[in-house]
Amino acid sequence: MSFATWIAFVFAASIIAVSPGSGAVLAMSHGLSYGVKKAAGTVLGLQLGLLLVLAIAGAGVGSLLLASELAFNIVKTVGALYLIYLGLSQWFSRVEIAAPGAEAVVRQAAPPLRKRVLTGVLTNATNPKGIIFMVAVLPQFIAKDAPLLPQLGILAVTMVVIDMIVMNGYAFLASSMQRFFRDARAVKKQNRFFGGVLVLVGAALFFVKRGAAVA
């Protein structure tokens, strides 16, 4: 892999990372709800899920999704239902008020680290568009006359670093707005907004076709 090819992949990976998606919504939601430090666990899970997607694409399983309507629909349905589940959980999440009165501080208990990491992993790993996109994009940056594994390793590290920076950035920006969500009503509106977005993203996934996923 030449340096010029790697730079081209950096630009492509940056565009992919910045583009709005379920991972960005999740990072912002957890950043606003739990703070940037606890959202870091979610971002870690997103990166592990991204590595899993890259491994799936590199192993050729993504090609099966590209060729098989049934396999694609199964993964698509699982991913859509999981995002809808996350959205509904966010919508109905409980809000605790630390003290009575208008100036009460509102707390949302963060899930355990393991659950936050797992949520991130499943969010990226159950996205068929991500898998198929990797299958369509990765080969364009891989030299056929060079060993495959080192090139996949370079691409994986590059994409994870870029995506981690972007997702932590989303979480930081969202967490900086926590001061505007001090009362229970505002927090409930926040939960319903992000929950609704996740439900919409999940519902939209049902309408994704294999051809559209690689377009």
Residue 103 CB neighbour total at 10 angstroms: 8
Query: What confidence tens digit (pLDDT) does each residue in 35-84 have?
Result: 899 999 999 999 999 999 888 877 765 566 666 778 778 877 887 888 88
- How many Å is the Cα radius of gyration of the chain? 19
Sorted by where each begins, the domain ranges of the chain are 3-7+21-213
Query: What confidence tens digit (pLDDT) does each residue in 155-204 have?
Result: 999 999 999 999 999 999 888 887 766 666 767 777 788 788 888 877 88
Q: How many CA atoms lie within 13 A of 134 on its CB side?
A: 28
pLDDT at 62: 58
DSSP for 16-69 reads HHHS--HHHHHHHHHHHHH-HHHHHHHHHHHHHHHHHHHHHHHHTHHHHHHH-H
92 vs 100, which has greater pLDDT? 92
Cα distances from 97 to residues 111, 124, 129, 174, 194, in angstroms, run 17, 33, 40, 21, 20
Cα-Cα end-to-end distance for the chain: 25
Contact 38, 183 (CB under 8 A): no
